[in-house]
A and B are shown apart, each in its own frame.
Chain A
Amino acid sequence: MSAAGRAARRERWEACFSPWALALAGAAVSAAYLFQRSLMVKALMFLCFLGAALLSGKKVSLVATIVVSAGIVAANLLVPVGRVIAVLGPMRITETALLDGVGKALVFEGLMYVSKASVLPGLRLPGRFGALVASAFVYYDRIVEYKGRIRPATLIEDADRLMLELWEAPRAEGGPETSRPMGRSAKAALIAAVALSLGLLFV
């Protein structure tokens, strides 16, 4: 998948949704996913989250997902619980431990993907704390745009110079979140995603 294609998807995704509406929907779907008991439904929801993360243009690494999931499953298999279904060398693969491991891996990685899809960079938190985070992001932009060099050999001096430059620049205050009107289909998609996730709890 090309970087240009991912950037275009990201732009389209961010243009479709208001950061707050998407974040609230993401939080609701995450909560429903966390309480989902059926492994099959969890697996289906995981695939939907993966699809949403891909559509959102966020960086998705299937290799990392597989490695982390395998680690979680393997860790759970170390403590045998339930019926032995296979023996791999010195390791006994037990049914309950395997299902537990798969369930935990699905939740761990699924929450990561739904979070990637639902947290937009323009999300502005409310209140004084939100203003503080927004100010930090303004300073962060300045650090990223900093023209000076930071070299390993003179790390302390260079980092100090950077901090002094930020210190002497105008104080940073984050602006309000740019409100984005959402289309009907985007609203409907969010409502459907939340309703479906909650409805699946009763399957």
Chain B
Amino acid sequence: MPTSTPRPTEAAARDLSAEPRTPADITALLGAFCFFLSAVEYMIPKPLPFMRLGIANLPILLAVDLLPLPWYLALALVKVVGMSVISGSLFSYVALFSLAGTLTAAIAMWAARKVIRGSVSAVGVSMLGAVASNAVQIAIASAVVFGEAARLIAPPFLATGLVTGALLGAFAETFAAKSRWYARARGAL
């Protein structure tokens, strides 16, 4: 998918390594990770066009315990806008689906983790996010593209969300437990 990248290049980056890491910096880093995973996902063959693993949501899942809410929501927006610019879908329904799905998933995951504090594992948080995202996308698909027939794709779409959400949650849990970077990022904030 990303055959070229936007102009702000390495040459434009200023050396700010001596400064402490800020939420903005971690948000940008995780946003870049979203773009990268989105490109990886693009290369994975899919049996149906709408079936996605949702691996680009992994950084958002990791950010639940890492970023303050405003930066966490900013990360979700960076993911949507950046991926839409890379794929050139910024003014299309695809961007609308992505915006609604990502923001809904982000809010659902945040609420599950923070409101029901300590009671929901990363797997549960991820499954909830995936199902919430897919449900909103089905509602939008029903309103703008498929009409009433959207209810026919709802069962496989939601089931896929449950499975991929569980797998992604398990991966995030293991990564968060083992990652030295994650421990350092948590310590920096």
Contacts and interface: CB of A to CB of B under 8 A. Distances in A.
A and B together in one complex = yes
Interface of A: 10, 23, 26-27, 30, 58-59, 64, 67-68, 71-72, 75-76, 78-79, 100, 104, 107-108, 111-112, 114-119, 121-125, 129, 132-145, 156-157, 159-160, 163-164, 166-178
B8 A171 contact: no
Given A121-B5, A121-B85, A156 B24 contact: no
A140 B56 CA distance: 13
Nearest to B176: A156
Given A100-B147, A140-B35, A163-B179, A172 B5 contact: no
A170 B17 contact: yes
Given A118-B91, A121-B4, A138 B175 contact: no
Interface size class of B (residues with CB under 8 A): 35 or more
B117 interface: no
A90 to B, nearest CB: 15
Contacts of A118: 91
- 8 smallest CB-CB distances across A and B, nearest first, come from A175-B12, A174-B8, A139-B32, A136-B31, A135-B28, A171-B16, A163-B181, A122-B7
Given A59-B3, A134-B6, A167 B147 contact: no
Contacts, number: 213
Interface in B9-60: 9-17, 19, 21, 24-25, 27-29, 31-36, 49
Contacts of A164: 180-181, 184
A79 B147 contact: yes
Contacts of B3: 59
A174 B12 contact: yes
Contacts of B178: 156-157, 160
B157 to A, nearest CB: 13
A164 B174 CA distance: 17
B24 A108 contact: no
Contact of A119 (B10, B33, B88): B88
A141 B178 CA distance: 26
A56 B149 CA distance: 35
Nearest to B3: A59
B84 interface: yes
A115 B181 contact: no
Interface string B80-99: 01101110111111110000
B175 A167 contact: no
Given A124-B8, A171-B25, A137 B82 contact: yes
B27 A132 contact: yes
B17 A169 contact: yes
B107 interface: no
A177 B182 CA distance: 32
A104 B144 contact: yes
A114 B27 contact: no
Given A111-B91, A115-B88, A141-B10, A133 B31 contact: yes
A170 B89 contact: no
B48 to A, nearest CB: 9
Contacts of B147: 75-76, 79, 100, 104
A75 B150 contact: yes
